[in-house]
Structure 1
Amino acid sequence: MNQTNGSNIKTRDTFLETERLEFSTWSEEDRPLASALWGDPEVTKWISRKGFLSEDEIEARLAQEMERQQEMKVQYWPLFDKETGVFVGCCGLRPYAPDEKIYELGVHLTRDHWGKGYALEASKAVIRYAFEELDAHVLFAGHHPENSVSRRLLLKLGFIYKNDEFNELTGKMHPSYILTRSDMESLHLNG
């Protein structure tokens, strides 16, 4: 796929697709995309105690995602609109309890892609990938206690509330949920 990022034209490898989205992996060249996403305080107010990430924190986040992909074969993968090639955000996994094959699902979208169904579409693909390709036993997800949109998304995906857990990044207790393979199959997210 040819990807236009400002004036740069780049070929991007895609490893997962949905009807409207292509998933890639983060690279050093994606710093402007990472800054556009994690540099927006409307996005990061849900994931940072300060309500924003500094350039150094964005850089560290990008490095962490790339390292996680190399070591664990998962990350919050960057998403692109199939038709336009525009960067939409990221959706993916990170280890939650690796020895038990439990992964954490996460999705962060750029503000101009909110409310268009991208989070649901991307999350369904990542859930299928987790259970079918990674043989996950359980998926975990949590959200900022004031983020009702994320709560609705997780419930729509079939996640079941378990408890509130302290999130060190925000300093708040986050409602936390799990999804099992049988939960996924009963909701027909696998087809």
Structure 2
Amino acid sequence: MSLFPTEMESERLRYERLHPDDIDPFELYEHARAGAPHIDEITEYVTWEPYDHPREALEWIETCGENFDGNDAATYVMRPTEGDRAGELAGLAGIHPDWDRRLAVLGVWFRKPFWGRGYSAERAARMLELAFDRLDLEVVTVSHDPENENSRRAIERYVDRFGGRKEGRLRNDIAVDGEPRDTIRYSITCEEWRANWE
């Protein structure tokens, strides 16, 4: 049994686990491959590179499936439930618990046609509910590259909404292409979320 739901919904999005039993690797490959529309903008501030062949997409799906089955993390394909792009793969959302610290780290990326629609905040609200109501965690964190203004604006909006705060700049927090990079980290506690949940 998994601690994570295999499917979830929010107001305008459906979440399906990224798992070999459920997701076609060619669908992910089509949108995350080298040469896919806007892929350079999508991957500018993330820690992964566009896929060079379908096997890389399959390997990522298998890794996510193992994490899901082992109750280590959950990654979801997000699909809009309404509008002209209903049912399309809009992006991926992840939740990565550190059970010993009672903390979860959120991650996300969206295809460019889905930027600026408020999906990031909607997804964050759903993931916070999962972290606090179902997984009984105490803190959720999220980070962005210091240069990523789009992520900064989106994150600050929902962190403010749920009473969280900016923790600050973590120097050399991650490595991208073998080079250390800083991140800006934010956190929301369960108590802050409950006080501000509508």
Band of TM-score, shorter chain? 0.7 to 0.9
Report the 3-state secondary structure (helix = DSSP H, G, I; strand = E; otherwise coil) of the residue aligned with 1:116: coil
Query: Do structure 1's residue 107 and structure 2's residue 108 form an aligned pair?
Result: yes
Alpha-carbon deviation of 1:48?
A: 3.1
Instruction: Please state how far the C-alpha of 1:24 moved relative to its aligned partner.
Output: 0.8
Which residue of structure 1 aligns with residue 192 of structure 2?
A: 183
- Over 3 Å counting, the alpha-carbon distance change for 1:143 and 1:33 in structure 2 is farther
Q: Secondary structure at the match of 1:104?
A: strand
Alpha carbons of structure 1 residues 92 and 108: separation in structure 2 relative to 1, 3 Å: same
Residues 145 and 183 of structure 2 are in contact (CA less than 8 Å); yes or no, is this contact kept in structure 1?
yes
Equivalences for residues 31-46 of structure 1 within 5 A: 31-39=25-33, 40-46=39-45
Match of 2:167 among 155, 162, 165: 162
Task: Answer yes or no: is the 8 Å Cα contact 1:143–1:151 preserved in 2.
Answer: yes
Counterpart CA distance in 2 for 1:172 and 1:68 is: 26
1:89 counterpart letter in structure 2: G
Matched-pair contact (CA < 8 Å) for 1:45–1:52 = no
Q: Are the aligned partners of 2:93 and 2:123 in contact in 1 as well (CA < 8 Å)? A: yes
Shift of residue 76, structure 1, vs aligned partner: 2.3
Note if contact 1:36-1:110 (Cα within 8 Å) is conserved in structure 2: no
1:6-17 aligned within 5 A: 15-17=7-9
1:61 is aligned to 60
* Superposition map of 1:15-164 within 5 A: 15-28=7-20, 29-39=23-33, 40-48=39-47, 52-55=50-53, 57-72=56-71, 74-83=73-82, 84-95=86-97, 97-158=98-159, 159-164=164-169
TM-score (norm 2): 0.78
Unaligned runs of 5+ in 1: 1-12
Alpha-carbon displacement from aligned partner over 1:112-164 (angstroms, at most 9, x marks no partner): 11111111111111111110000111111111111112112222122422132
What secondary structure, in the 3-state scheme, does the structure 1 residue paired with 2:17 have? coil
Distance 1:73 1:173 in 2: 25
How far residue 36 of structure 1 moved from its aligned partner, in angstroms, is 3.6
CA shift for structure 1 position 14: 6.1
- The CA distance in 2 between the partners of 1:58 and 1:32, in whole Å, is 7
Identity across matched positions, percent = 22
